[in-house]
Structure 1
Amino acid sequence: MNYGAWPPLFVVDVEGNGASPPDLVEVAALPIREGRPDTSAAGAWLIRPPRPVTPRAAHVHGLTNDCLADSPPWDDLSGAVHDLLGTAWICAHNAHTDYRVLTAHLPDWHPTGVLDTLRLAKTTHPDLPGYSLDTLITHLAPDLSAAPAAGRHRATYDAYATAQLLISMAAHYPTWDELVTAAVPPSLPGAPRPEEDPTLW
């Protein structure tokens, strides 16, 4: 795999307040450059949601209403998130969720394509006992020595872990196009178009 030939790509992760539909409480966007996560150019935002964080959500990611009380609201941050992501590709684990939440909060944002490490893992490693992020970390053992200290279920950590899983699994595919075929769900941007049957005249 020639990582240098990849188009602009951000690995993203979002955390919500537990409401339905969710309000954002954290967003991370980590660029991949030359086959490595570039933490120097990453974006990370804590957001004060308009509705309270539920106890269940706070138990998962540790972001309580008190610790978000001084964070800016989404309206103050949406422009910066939109500008950083631009039209780049994104990658996420179980990407339908992150893509759906981000597009709901950024209605004018249109990524070129969406890679899903969940789909990619099922294609690349079909015999694993499961495909959660925790299971993939256990079985594929990506290098997380430089992962953010925030820990699992925080957006910055999960984006870094997902980035390392993507880089590791991408090594199984000789070209970007083959990676796209394995990693982009059919319903998301960037999915290869099915070949059309030749028309007989």
Structure 2
Amino acid sequence: MPNQLWMAAPLVAFDLEGTGGQDRENEAILEVGVVPLAGGRPDVDRAYHSIVNPGRRIPRRPWSPPGLTSDMLALGPTLDHILPELMARLNGAYIVGHNVTVDWRLLSLRCPGIRPAALIDTLKLARLIRSGSRRNSLTALLTHYQLTDEVFHLAVGGQPHRALWDAVGAGLLLRTLVEKLFGQTITVDKLRQVAGVPINGEAMGDESGQLPLLF
């Protein structure tokens, strides 16, 4: 149903951790977190989370995800092993993430068969509300909107800059930002106009950063 309200759409909060853009075409996925949204909230009972064995040792860098050591990753499944699960959960879904273009670049490089319905970026929504702020990282926004404790409660055992924690955080943040901007009545098509980012070069309408006419 193309004009369904946003909360009724197949929304999935997603995050991955990788080896870093400095690896270019050799960048590997190290961890994935996929959290369905039910009624606009993360449904952690149906979440999927896995470390990913990159098949090589990963040097520690300042930006490396906390706790993801080469020895730990060597015990995880390979990307080929978890790919069917990712495809089942992400194909046809509206993928929600914070600065989701970064994760999508690596995901589409390593898993070109994944075909989401759209990509929804919570960073774009945050910039509409906080256009003058430079503190729009996921952790800063969760702190600003007093959501951090709830993320820790839902992502049991998780921590910032790990895939499950960040995916839950993006899911919670989406609802908060949508309600502040639009209330409960925005359709998923209008949400995509405002917060969508291109998939493989598709046009997304107004990219000026101005809020389009919604109703």
Does 2:58 match 1:53? Answer: yes
Please tell me whether the aligned partners of residues 180 and 191 of structure 1 are also in contact (alpha carbons under 8 angstroms).
no
Does 2:116 match 1:105? Answer: no
Letter in 2 for 1:124: I
Please tell me whether the aligned partners of residues 95 and 119 of structure 2 are also in contact (alpha carbons under 8 angstroms).
yes
CA RMSD of aligned residues (A): 2.2
Does 2:2 match 1:17? Answer: no
Q: Which sits farther off after the overlay, 153-162 or 15-24?
A: 15-24
- Residues 44-71 of structure 1: CA distance to partner in whole angstroms, max 9, x if unpaired? 1111102322211674322001111211
Correspondence for 1:160 among 128, 146, 168: 168
Aligned length: 192
State the distance in 2 between where 1:127 and 1:102 align.
31
Correspondence for 1:42 among 39, 47, 56: 47
The Cα of 1:39 is off from its aligned counterpart by: 0.7
- Residues 154-177 of structure 1: CA distance to partner in whole angstroms, max 9, x if unpaired? 100010111110111111223123
State the distance in 1 between where 2:17 and 2:167 align.
11
Report matched runs for 1:28-177 at 5 Å: 28-56=33-61, 59-142=64-147, 143-144=150-151, 145-171=153-179, 172-173=181-182, 174-176=185-187, 177=189
State the distance in 2 between where 1:183 and 1:56 align.
32
Structure 2 unmatched ranges of 5 or more: 207-215
Structure 1 unmatched ranges of 5 or more: 195-201
Letter in 1 for 2:158: A
Q: Which sits farther off after the overlay, 27-36 or 58-67?
A: 58-67
Please tell me whether the aligned partners of residues 48 and 73 of structure 1 are also in contact (alpha carbons under 8 angstroms).
yes
* Equivalent in the alignment of 2:211: none
Letter in 1 for 2:15: D
State the distance in 1 between where 2:205 and 2:99 align.
21
Give the TM-score normalised by the residue count of structure 2: 0.80
State the distance in 1 between where 2:101 and 2:155 align.
24
State the distance in 1 between where 2:90 and 2:45 align.
15
* Equivalent in the alignment of 2:212: none
Please tell me whether the aligned partners of residues 97 and 167 of structure 2 are also in contact (alpha carbons under 8 angstroms).
yes
* Equivalent in the alignment of 1:8: 10
Secondary structure in structure 2 of the residue aligned to 1:99 = helix
Does 2:186 match 1:181? Answer: no
* Equivalent in the alignment of 1:198: none
Q: Which sits farther off after the overlay, 50-59 or 117-126?
A: 50-59
Please tell me whether the aligned partners of residues 17 and 65 of structure 2 are also in contact (alpha carbons under 8 angstroms).
no
Does 2:31 match 1:26? Answer: yes
- Residues 78-127 of structure 1: CA distance to partner in whole angstroms, max 9, x if unpaired? 11211121211101111111111111121111111000111111013324
Secondary structure in structure 2 of the residue aligned to 1:32 = strand
Letter in 1 for 2:199: L
State the distance in 2 between where 1:61 and 1:182 align.
33
